[in-house]
Every structure is written in C-alpha cells, then in structure tokens.
Structure 1
Amino acid sequence: MRKGTSVSTHVRHAYEQFLAGSAPADDAVRSMVRESWERSRSRGLNPGAVDPDSDADTPMSDTDFQEYRAVHRLATVRSLVHSLMLDDISDSGVVVAMADKHGRLLWVEGDRAARDAAARINFVEGSVWSEETVGTNAPGLALTVNRGVQIIGPEHFSGPVQKWNCAAAPVHDPTTGELLGVIDVTGGPAVAAPFALSAIRSVVAAVERELQSQAVDLAAPETFSPAATRRRLTVLADGAAQWHDGVSAPRPLSPRHAEIIVLLQSYREGLGTEQLATLLSDEGLGSVTVRAEISRLRRDLGDVVTSRPYRLIVELESDVADLRAMIAKGELTSAISMLGRGGLLAGSLAPGITELFDEIREDLRSRIFGTGNLTALRHWVDSPHGRDDITAWHHLAKQLPIGHPDRAVAEGRVRLLDRRFGA
C-alpha cells in the first residue's frame, strides 16, 4: 500500500474548518462524508488517532477469531476474490480486505510491503474498522449506508489515515438479502481513480453470484429432496449415537460430539466456551479442548454450529426432543418405550447430560403419578428406571384392587425395597 500523493485542497480545508467548529461550505465536501464526520464527532472519536481495537463490545481472542472467520460465509468466496483482484494487483502496492458486517477485518491481503504499510495504521486482520470505531472510512461507511463508497485522502475522519485512499462495497446474501460484510481495496493514487469503485462493485456482483450458486446447486440430487434440510440425532438407542443428514446413510458420532449437540439443542440461546466446558466435564475441561472438539465436529458434520456463543444453526430433530414432546402430550407408555435404558444419556458422565437425563426421568415419572395412568405405571415399574422405584411400586399397589394377584406382587416389592434400601 503506497501513501496517497493527490490531496484535495478544498476537502482538507473543509475538514480543518469542521474540526475547528465551523460549518464547511455545502459544496466543499460531499454530504455523505460530512454526515459521517458529524456522526464520528458525536461519538467522541479522536480525529488525531486511529484505534480499531477499541470495539470493547465484541472482544475476540486470536483463537476465537481464527475459528470465527473459518466458518464465515465470506470464507467460501475468498478464493474467488483472490482470482479477481489479488492475482492481478499483487505487486501494485494495495491491499484487499474482506470484513464482516460489524467491520471486523477477516482478511487483509496483498504483498508483504503493502500489508506492512497497512499495519502502521492498524489496518490488520482482526481489527474493527466500523464507522463507530474509527470514524469515516470506506469499509465502515459502506456498511453504514449499505452501498458502495469511495473515500479519498482527507475525507477520512482520522488524520493518520488521510494519506490513503479506499473503495468498498457491501456483500449481501443473494437469497435473503442479509448483509454479510464488505470488500475493500486500500492504497495510493490508483485507488482514488473512479474505476476503483466500479471494480469493487464488479467483484461484489461476482461474489454474490457465487454465493447464489452455492445456495442452489441444481446438479445436486438432494437440492429438491424434502429430507435434505432435515438433520436428526438419535442417542437413546443402545450403541453409538447416530447422525442422519437426510441424504446419506446414518453415521455414528463420538460420545463427546453427541453430548455437545444434545446440550446445544437443549440450550437454544447458546453456550459460551466456559459454560460448555462446565456442562461437559467437572474435571476442569479446558477451553482449548472445547474449541478443538467444536472444530472437529464442524469438520465431520459441516457448518452446523456457530460461535460466540456456540449454538446450532440448522434445524435439528432428535429422539430426545421427541421424548420430551411425548411426555408433554401425555403419551407416557410410548415415552417409556422410547427412553429404553437411556442410551448415551444413561452412560454419559458429562454433568450437563446427567442433569438432562435426571430432568427427563423426573418429568416422565411425575406425569405418570399425576395422571394415575395404571398402564403407564405398570410400564414404568417394568422399566430399568422404575424397577427399584419404591414410590412407584407403592402407587401401583394402591391402585390395584384388593385380591388382585399383581397387588400382592407390588406390596411384596415395596417390602423388598424397604429392606434393601432402608426406605
């Protein structure tokens, strides 16, 4: 990135007037730039410094950042941006940046000299170049006004950035219209030319076409299959947990991956790294281990979990969810059969899974007692979970008529359990 050599004298004079508290003439600076200056000043930003790391609301460690950008939608089009821009301008002294919708720079690329120069104004990967953070700049302003913009030299709010020129345009999801981020080019005189913004817009158009082709692959047989979007997790049967993607054959999951998915389905609002670590182990499971497991899970199953916090981003069916629905609807005998021995829930040592298993069993047991369903009560005491439930045997004995042979069996079981457990 070379320092800009063309300085617009009238814009610089307008900027100095603005900082001095005077209103620049209407024709001295573009209204879009003036309005951005005013927003920047109203936020209390220092025009004499640039601090893209001051975004205290969204702190992110290096590990979190690497994980975050690896699964970002723009990661899927990074190679396209390379081929359209960097391959041709790799030695022209400019950098090309891709940022998320908050202005966080996901990638800053160019030759080493260009990136070193950009680093001197903290234009580096992971920094936040929103208008709110550093004032008027092309990527930040493009996100604010939601259209392509070009900022020349002294149009920047921050003085240290005024030796550079930049052009940027936002990228949208072609299907939903969601703002995904922005693509920016920053450099010297070449970036001040009118064609720079046109070039960026052309690249964005190509990127959005690529995103559209990824969203709808007409060649893929699963595209129009109703099952293609239905994913299902089964953990209650004996043996390994199974992942069903609606397209290929079910695949076994490791117990840890199954535990993570069960927990994330139970905590729809999401879980932080430390929260998830606590729910997975009471032996001080480290955050690094949790991140590694999430990374492996994504590698195996695809983009099903997002970060900050960790939460599911796909529609997921599961036998655990089905079981809870059966209990809520009073389908108690079916619920007892589905619970079986408990599968992963019964075998897991993860505190969060153990608590979940206890909740499900207590909900089911309480429903059985509350409804007085004799058939369900019989099924319960015959199940692995009710076999030693002295209260359930006592309820059964009370519900059966005097003289019924099963009442005598139930009363005998109460006496046995009383001696065995001292209840």
Structure 2
Amino acid sequence: MNDEPMDMARLSAMDARQASRVLSGVRAAALSGRRPPVTPRPVIGESWDRTLQYGVDPDRGSHPGLLALDEIEARRRSSPISSVLPTLRQGIVTAAGGARHIMVVTDAEGRMLWRDGSQAVQKQADGLGFELGASWAEEAVGTNAVGTALVARRPVQVHSAEHFVRRHHSWTCAAAPLHDPRDGRLLGVVDVSGPAASLHPATLALVSAVARLAESELRERHLAAIERLRAVAAPMLCRIGGRAVAVDRNGWTAAVTGMPPMNRLVLPRSLSAGQVRIPSFGLCTVEPLPDGWLVRAAEPRPDGGEACAEPSRVVLDLRMPRHWTLSVMGGTGSWTQDLTPRHAELLYVLARHREGRTAAQLALDLFGDSARTVTVRAELSRIRRTLAGVLDHRPYRFADGVGVELLTPADQTGLLPHSTAPAVVAGRSPGTG
C-alpha cells in the first residue's frame, strides 16, 4: 500500500502499459469503494467524486450531443478567444502536431469550438467523441483535462485511466483555463491531447505558458481599445457639464468628468441608448460611442430621492458549478453582476455571517491563515467599488437594511466545486445549506 499520491513525474517514468495498469487499479478501487493501491492525485480524486455524483456512465460517458454548425460559429464570433487564436496556434500546434497531439479550444461550458493539429490524431479523437461541438464538461464525460480544468480553475493534466470513462483510457491530455483579463471571467480552456503513449511531463507547462501569453495579449488589446475610446471621448467630456463618464462595452472607464475617477461602471446586461437606470447612479442618459457608451448621470437630489436610492435586496446565486451571480434590487431598479471565483467565495462567507467578519476572520475562512489580511482587503476593495451600497466594512458585511437570499446547489457537495477555502469546504457538509 502506498499512500503517496501518484504524480506526473512517476507516471512518465513508467512505460505506457505499466502506467495504465497502475492507474486502472487505482480507478477500479475508487469506483468500488475500496482503498486504492496508490492514492490518486487530489485533483483527480476530487473529480472522480464529483463525477460519481453526476451519474456519468463509467464505460462510455454521457455525451449530450453536438452543437449545430451555426451555433458553433455564433459562439466563435462572440468569444474573445477568437482574437488570440493565432497566438495559441503558434505556441502549440507546430510542436503538438509533430508529437502526435492536437490542440483544442473550448468555451466556458466545455463545448469544443476549435481543433487543430495532427490529422491522424484528429481521426482518433473523432472515435472518442472529442470533436467540434462536443461537450467535455465533467457532467458529460467525467474526469478529463478540459472539464476538470474548468472546475478547478487551474491547469490540469489527465493521463490514461485517470480519465473516469473507460473508453478514454487510451488518451492523455493537458489543459489550462483562459480568463478574460478585464474581469477574471472564465472564457474556456486550451487543451493538448493525444495517445497515452505520448505522455510528456512538460506538456502541461507548455499549455500553461501559452495560455498566459494569450491572456496577456487580450489584456494589451483591451488597454489599446480603452486608449482609442479615450481619444474620442475626452474632448466631448470637456464640453459637458455635470457628471458624465465614457466607458467601453463592458463598463471599463476611458474618461470621466464631474465625479471621482473609477475603474469600472456596472452596466445592465442589455443596454441601449436613452434613459437607463444604472446601479449607484440612478436614472442616466446613455449615448453610443465607438465601441462604448457615454453615460450622463443625474445630479443627486437634495432630498435623497431616487438618484441616491440604496439597494434593498440581493440574491447570491451559487447553484451552478461554473457560473455565479449577485443580483441587486432597489430604488434604481435591478441588475446582475457575474462573480469571479474569489468574489463568490467571499460573498458566500458574508452571506453566511450577516453579523460581519473581520479581515483576519475572512483570511482564515478563505485561506486557513488569519495573517493573509492584505489579500482579503484588496479583494473586498474591488468588490465594494463594483457593488456600491451593497457591502459595508468594520466589520465587512452586507449593508444594514439589505435583505440577502443565498441560493446553493440542491446537493451541497456541489457548492463552488473549484474552491478549497475552509469555509466553503465546511459548507459542503450535509445540513449546512
């Protein structure tokens, strides 16, 4: 019996047949509830547990079918990843093709939108259902690099019988998530896959480095777009009286007048020109700009009327495995904010502790280390800039008078599955919902 988790270096030191035999024995023991001969890596063991709860067929998976070609094209056009495909191909495809691998790129749901590389390996991939439009989320096919990286929110390599589904045991894959640098939103993953015999421990490092390079390019593109918008908007704002701000389509500020500078303005999901209620601003006049908006805010009313109305109720929705939101209702209407993994964790803790938490308590809740207060304060500062009037401090808490509704999965074990925060892990226990 060996309680030390199997790592990729040990696997790569074995020949393909030996590694497959060892991992098959570990998987068989785990599925039958027996103690495995070798402990699976934590990221694999946790994924197997989730997959068992999903009820995925351990032999063939549970493929939900392929997307139609027009839907694939629509998702490609709407994905920021499309702009950095040349970077991904240049960094991966040339090397991957020669090594009998392919590169695939999925969206945040695990649907494959692009595939490139060795034609022979692509034909093998078709036989596994690893094709354009297919879902490789854990809920569909269990443990695999694409789906597990989407949940874990970090690079993952899955080899041979570490895959939950038996028909995938001839395969090895390494994937890294791609995030939108503007707001941390998960865009999808880039993955390198191929026959199990082609396992190389450096593959994960390659995929991770190329993913970071693509994110850096997205960040540079965003900054360049903001500069172009500022060049157009700044002269206009100089001629405008009162409070006004020029923002891009995602609310990032290019120029501002009549009010303190801000990084980002929370915009309604569906925004059009005219009279619109904007969170924290109230009734505003919105005008289109090239790739952005000019928002003219109403002046605050002396009697504290509608333009200054505070939020009265929030709904924190954590029911989905990869997408979490905070909806805010109040005198200025209602709006919904998508949450990053860290912000979802923080707001979950605050929703469970309406009396509030100090920075040290939150550091213990999130990291198991009460000394990590600087990180906590920085994250809460970011949240409070976006969620004006929703959060208070000293201690950190939802503001007085704001009703809070917390929505969690029916099966508490699916609560924020990516998270290792002690408070979230404790919240997955029965009876804590």
- TM-score, normalising length from structure 1? 0.51
- 1:133 to 2:140 alignment: yes
Residues 299-341 of structure 1 deviation map (CA, whole Å, 9 limit, x = unaligned): xx99x7xxxxxxxxx64779xxx9xxxxxxxxxxxxxxxxxxx
Change in CA separation of 1:158 and 1:143 when aligned onto 2, cut-off 3 Å: same
**One-letter amino acid of the structure 1 residue matched with residue 187 of structure 2:** L
Quote the offset at 1:179 in angstroms: 1.3
**Among candidates 9, 12, 32, match of residue 20 of structure 1:** 32
User: Which residue in 1 is equivalent to 2:210?
Assistant: 203
Question: Which residue number in structure 2 is paired with residue 186 of structure 1?
Answer: 193
Residue ranges of structure 2 left out of the alignment (5+ in a row): 1-15, 237-245, 255-269, 277-288, 299-433
Give the root-mean-square deviation of aligned CA atoms.
3.6
In the other structure, the counterpart of 1:34 is 45
Shift of 1:98: 0.7
- Which one of 5, 11, 19 corresponds to residue 7 of structure 1? 19
User: CA 1:145/1:71 → structure 2, altered by over 3 Å: closer, same or farther?
Assistant: same
Structure 1 residue aligned with 2:219, among 209, 212, 220? 212
Q: Structure 1: which amino acid aligns with 2:43?
A: M
The CA distance in 1 between the partners of 2:152 and 2:233, in whole Å, is 38
Distance (Å, rounded) in 2 between the aligned partners of 1:32 and 1:80: 28
Q: Conserved in 2, the CA contact under 8 Å of 1:216 and 1:223?
A: no
Residue in structure 1 matched with residue 160 of structure 2 by the alignment:
153
1:173 Cα deviation after fit: 1.6
Deviation readout 1:72-120 (Å, 9 max, x if unpaired): 1110111111111112332432110111111111112113211111010
8 Å contact from structure 1 (residues 5, 188) kept in 2: no
CA separation of 1:39/1:23 partners in 2, compared to 1, >3 Å: closer, same or farther? farther
Cα distance in 2 for partners of 1:223, 1:199 equals 37
Distance 1:210 1:50 in 2: 36
Counterpart mapping for 1:74-85 below 5 A: 74-85=81-92
The offset of 1:190, in angstroms, is 6.7
Give the structure 1 partner of residue 119 of structure 2: 112
CA distance in 1, matches of 2:231, 2:124: 49
Structure ID, larger Rg = 1
Please report how far the alpha carbon of residue 20 of structure 1 lies from its aligned counterpart in structure 2 after TM superposition.
Answer: 2.5
| Residue 96 (1) aligns with residue 107 (2) | no
**More RCO (CA 8 Å, sep 6+):** 1
Return the structure number with greater helix share. 1
Query: Does the 8 A contact of 2:104 with 2:116 survive in 1?
Result: yes
Give the percent of matched residue pairs that are identical in Structure 1 and Structure 2: 29
Cα displacement (A) at 1:22 = 2.0
Shift of 1:124: 0.7
Shift in alpha-carbon separation, 1:38–1:197, aligned structure 2, 3 A: same
Deviations 1:262-310 (A, max 9, x none): 99779x9xxxxxxxxxxxxxxxxxxxxxxxxxxxxxxxx99x7xxxxxx
Aligned to 1:45: 56
User: Is there any run of 5+ residues in structure 1 with no aligned partner, and where?
Assistant: 233-245, 247-261, 269-300, 305-313, 323-423
TM-fit CA distance, 1:172:
1.2
C-alpha displacement of 1:32: 1.8
Taking a change above 3 Å as real, the CA distance of residues 73 and 190 of structure 1, as seen in their structure-2 partners, is farther
Q: Partner of 1:176: helix, strand, or coil?
A: coil
Q: Secondary structure at the match of 1:84?
A: helix
SS at match of 1:216: helix
Secondary structure at 1:7 match in 2: helix
Q: Distance in 1 between matches of 2:233 and 2:226?
A: 16
Q: In structure 2, what is the Cα distance between the partners aligned to 1:265 and 1:127? A: 38
Is the Cα contact below 8 Å between 1:171 and 1:204 reproduced in 2?
A: yes
> Residue in 2 aligned with 1:65?
72
1:122 matches 2:129: yes
**Comparing both structures, which one devotes a greater share of its residues to strand?**
2
SS, match of residue 217 in structure 1: helix
TM-score normalised to structure 2 length: 0.50
Q: Distance in 2 between matches of 1:83 and 1:156?
A: 28
What are the residue-to-residue correspondences of 1:18-417 with 2, within 5 Å?
18-24=30-36, 27-53=38-64, 60-189=67-196, 192-217=199-224, 221-223=228-230, 225-226=232-233, 229=246, 315=293
Indicate how the Cα distance of structure 1 residues 231 and 76 shifts in structure 2: closer, same or farther if over 3 A, else same. Answer: closer
Q: Report the CA distance shift for 1:315/1:226 in structure 2 as closer, same or farther (over 3 A).
A: closer
